[in-house]
Copies of this chain bind each other. A is one copy, B any other.
Amino acid sequence: MNMESRYERGFAKLREIDGEAGERVVQSLADIAPDFARYLIEFPLGDVYSRPGLDLKSREIAVVAALTALGNAAPQLKVHIQGALNVGVTRTEIVETIMQMAVYAGFPAALNGLTAAKEVFSSPARHRG
């Protein structure tokens, strides 16, 4: 397992989870921090998301929960709401996950998460690339 294979494994995972939205994030880093684009594929996707022990649906539920609770990363929350849909989490499960955050991070965090979900659900580009 050399460095190249972390990248390749991560890039495949990026396409599986995030589709074109993930590739756009990577491309947007090309001129300012190309190494960071590489790290993004290698560590979160090539190392962490590729691990056995927790299925992709649960990983995306965990991420949607955390980003809703933190409340300071709206663009990434939308990417992961779409990512959750892409790996088979249902709309209902996403909405329930976000609603549950009202208990742990407050109603404003949940409200803003629901607004993000509403935007993703109604986007014409919702199907994967």
Q: Are B99 and A36 in contact (CB under 8 A)?
A: yes
Q: Is A106 an interface residue (CB 8 A)?
A: yes
Per-position binary interface string of chain A over residues 17-37, scored 1 when its CB falls under 8 Å from any chain B CB and 0 otherwise = 000000001001101110110
* Nearest-Cβ distance from residue A4 to partner chain B, whole angstroms: 9
Interface size class of A (residues with CB under 8 A): 35 or more
Residues of B contacting A97 in the complex (Cβ-Cβ under 8 angstroms):
54, 58-59, 62
- Contacting residue for A106 out of B58, B62, B75, B105, CB 8 A: B105
- Structural contact, B114 and A75, CB atoms closer than 8 A: no
Instruction: Flag A88-108 by CB within 8 Å of B: 1 or 0 each.
Output: 000011011111111111111
Closest B residue to A103 by beta carbon equals B44
Q: How far is the CA of A28 from the CA of B75 in the complex (A)?
A: 20
Query: Is the CB–CB distance between A111 and B66 below 8 Å?
Result: no
* Shortest CB distance A52–B (Å): 9
**Shortest Cβ distance from A54 into B: residue:** B96
User: Which listed residue, B47, B99, B112, touches A48 by the CB 8 Å rule?
Assistant: B99
Apart from A1-B3, A63-B104, A73-B104: 7 A-B pairs, beta carbons within 8 A: A32-B118, A62-B65, A62-B100, A63-B65, A66-B104, A67-B104, A72-B108
